[in-house]
Amino acid sequence: MKLQHKYVWLWQKSGLLDDLRDKDGNIKPLSWYIKQLPKAATKLAANEADPKEAYKDFYGWLGEVLCEFWLKKFGHRYDIVEITDTSENQFTRGYDFTARSFFAAELLSQIQVKMRSDSEKIFMLKDLYTFFDEGQKAGILPQYLVLMVPTSSLTPQDLLSYKADFKRDYLPRIRVINREIMQANMRDLPSVRGLGSNEEFFTSFREAVTGSCLPVTI
């Protein structure tokens, strides 16, 4: 599988995929990788001109690369195919990926990745304004306007604020995929090489990262 994201090399440089097993020999779960991303982003950003700003970028891009791979593995289960990354265009507003409906190619999907943990505040309208605005302008149907929050285990119903009826008015307009939904799909991933589902996912992810990376120095 070929990953398109401009910053896929961050995963290779991070070293997070070097060893898929923990000290007890168990395959590291998705939650472990999510927990390590801030540390990896901090380390990668340390030598940048503006480490604080680079950290925010790197953290977000690491999440986007993971979500690109996940979408290419499981997007068809949500009727979305032809996942296309937008990272080459820095002026893309409100979404990180586009896709198309499996059943009707003329139906476009827009997908936004947000790296917000359970310890942070839930989403307000101001946090997702451009996401909704771009989706509305493009006429995206609710099932194809996808908010991915790989860092959160909060249910889709708990991710949006009640303030000013935001949850009531906007939750029906989107599909939310959180960490728990991502993990649930990963649990029944088949393997042609006899690996467990988590090992198959991260082995395939490592192969995709390695195969998609160009030589980059930072």
The pLDDT tens digits for 156-211 are: 899 999 999 999 999 999 999 999 999 999 999 998 889 999 999 999 999 999 99
Lowest-pLDDT choice from 79-88, 120-129, 137-146: 120-129
Query: What's residue 217's pLDDT?
Result: 46
Task: Give pLDDT, residue 215.
Answer: 52
Q: What is the pLDDT of residue 218?
A: 45
Average of per-residue pLDDT values in the chain = 94
Q: What percent of the chain has pLDDT over 90?
A: 88
Does the pLDDT of residue 213 top 90, yes or no?
Answer: no
H or E segment and range at residue 146:
strand 145-149
pLDDT in tens, 136-169: 999 999 999 999 999 999 998 999 999 999 999 9
**How many CA atoms within 13 Å lie on the side-chain side of 22?**
10
Beta bridge partners of 80: 101
Which residues is 113 bridged to in the sheet? 148
Burial string for 163-193 (b: 16+ CB within 10 Å, else e) reads eeebbeebbeebbbbbbebbbebbeebeeee
Q: What distance in Å separates the CA atoms of residue 73 and residue 67, rounded to the nearest whole number? A: 10
pLDDT for the residue numbered 214? 60
CATH of domain 9-212: 3.40.1350
Domain ranges, ordered by start, for the chain: 9-212
Output the pLDDT for position 121.
Answer: 75
pLDDT at 119: 72
Q: What is the pTM of this model?
A: 0.94
The candidate with the shortest Cα–Cα distance to 95, out of 107, 79, 83, 78, is: 83
